[in-house]
Amino acid sequence: MKKSLFIFFATIGMLACTQEGTLQLSPSHEIRFGSKFVNNASRAAQNPSFIDGENDLTAFNLWGFMDKPTLKLWDAEDVTKVGDGWSQDNVQYWIPGHSYAFSALAPMDSANWQADTSGINTHGLGRVTFAITDGGEDLIYADTTLTTPKTYDELFANPMDTVKLEFDHLLTAVKFSFKNGMPNVPNDNLQLVVKNVTMEVPKSATIDLAVENWEDNASWQFDNSTVVLNFGDMPPVGVGQMDEVEKVRLIFPTPATTTYIVNFDVEVYMDGVLAMTHKKSAKIENRTLERGKAYNFYATITHDNLNLKPIEFGTVSVSGWVTVPSTNINK
């Protein structure tokens, strides 16, 4: 009897030590998030949101599961930046011998995206629907999978590193520039101002991110809705000068079969006085707009596309002297 009691208490003692040791070491086995950055490869223009990559990314929504989607760790969890680290309300831990899948969307809790995660898997989040309002909000996405060592000993000896997430843009950035291409002769009195630059684009679309190699295989599926985006105005530019319109706008990537009509007003100033205003249009066609890339479309404004005829001089002659009768000046 005494022997049985001794064995029983010894077992309890060993369990207590094991549990105590695990609790002391557990912070190093929390699932933490490390460097996160926005992939800005091939970017040619500033993006109106997340301009500086990770420096502008301060919050995102997180989904995570262990082994299979039914074992949820996080479901649209709010993750926010705190100092040099990241914080979320629900702390989760690494368990040896399991695989983990993580997906993330930003901006956090935006009313412009809706996520249907019924198809979530290790490839990605599922179907995401996004609505463009004024073209000023980006949509970025990241996913990754990790596997823990098979035993606790391996996990304690080699703790898991922080989870690295690389966010990619799911949209395309567009901006416009205009050049004053009036005749090359310097004319300090003539300036052009481009205003009210607008473009009608698809408003709503859905993308399935739960497909293998979604970067290559996932594409936006559009409904029939559209929205007119306002790119703003351009500062006055003199002859031979070029400047950008005020705003960069974000739109869905589209194939080369899509044609866009860009409308804008051109004001012609002579010596600082508004002389006339033209309403003009231009086409963007036969051009694929790729996800995660930014495009600067530019146009040259000349007297021809403004239907202006330059003042030209033809035959120049000098009239002859008219001889009048002689005048006697003697008194």
Domain locations in the chain as residue ranges: 1-29, 30-169, 172-301
69 phi-psi bin (left φ>0, alpha ψ -120 to 50, beta other): alpha
CATH code, residues 172-301: 2.60.40
Tens digit of pLDDT at every position of the chain (331 positions): 433 333 333 332 332 233 332 223 344 578 888 765 666 543 334 445 565 555 578 899 999 999 999 999 999 999 998 888 899 999 999 999 999 999 999 999 999 999 999 999 999 999 999 999 999 999 999 999 999 999 989 988 888 999 999 999 999 999 999 999 887 656 677 899 999 999 999 999 999 999 999 999 999 999 999 999 999 999 999 888 899 998 999 999 999 999 999 999 999 998 889 999 999 998 999 999 999 888 999 889 888 888 888 788 889 899 999 999 888 888 6
Q: How confident is the model at residue 327, as a pLDDT?
A: 83
Measured in whole angstroms, the distance separating CA 279 from the mean position of its chain's CA atoms is: 30
Check if the beta carbon of residue 223 is closer than 8 Å to that of residue 207: no
The token duo for 289 is 């707009």
Measured in whole angstroms, the distance separating CA 101 from the mean position of its chain's CA atoms is: 24
Q: How confident is the model at residue 28, as a pLDDT?
A: 57
Maximum separation of any 2 CA atoms in the chain, in Å: 165
**In sequence order, what are the beta bridge partners of 255?**
none
Please state, in angstroms and rounded to a whole number, the distance separating the CA atoms of residues 199 and 195.
Answer: 13
Check if the beta carbon of residue 239 is closer than 8 Å to that of residue 164: no
Please tell me the pTM assigned to this model. 0.82
Q: Which run of H or E residues covers position 289?
A: none
Please state, in angstroms and rounded to a whole number, the distance separating the CA atoms of residues 301 and 194.
Answer: 10
Q: How confident is the model at residue 310, as a pLDDT?
A: 78
Q: How confident is the model at residue 186, as a pLDDT?
A: 60
Burial of 267 (0-12, 13-18, 19+ CB in 10 A): middle
Among candidates 148, 132, 291, which has minimal Cα distance to 201?
A: 132
The token duo for 42 is 């091939």
Please state, in angstroms and rounded to a whole number, the distance separating the CA atoms of residues 114 and 253.
Answer: 18
**In sequence order, what are the beta bridge partners of 292?**
none
List, as one string, the DSSP characters of 189-249: TEEEEEEEEEEEEE-EEEEE--STTHHHH---EE-S-EEEEEEE----EETT-EEE-S--E
**CATH architecture assigned to 30-169:** Sandwich (2.60)
Please state, in angstroms and rounded to a whole number, the distance separating the CA atoms of residues 82 and 134.
Answer: 30
Please state, in angstroms and rounded to a whole number, the distance separating the CA atoms of residues 170 and 113.
Answer: 12
* 172-301 and 30-169 share a CATH fold: yes
Residue pointed to by tokens 């983990």: 100
Check if the beta carbon of residue 172 is closer than 8 Å to that of residue 289: yes
Residue pointed to by tokens 């559009």: 222
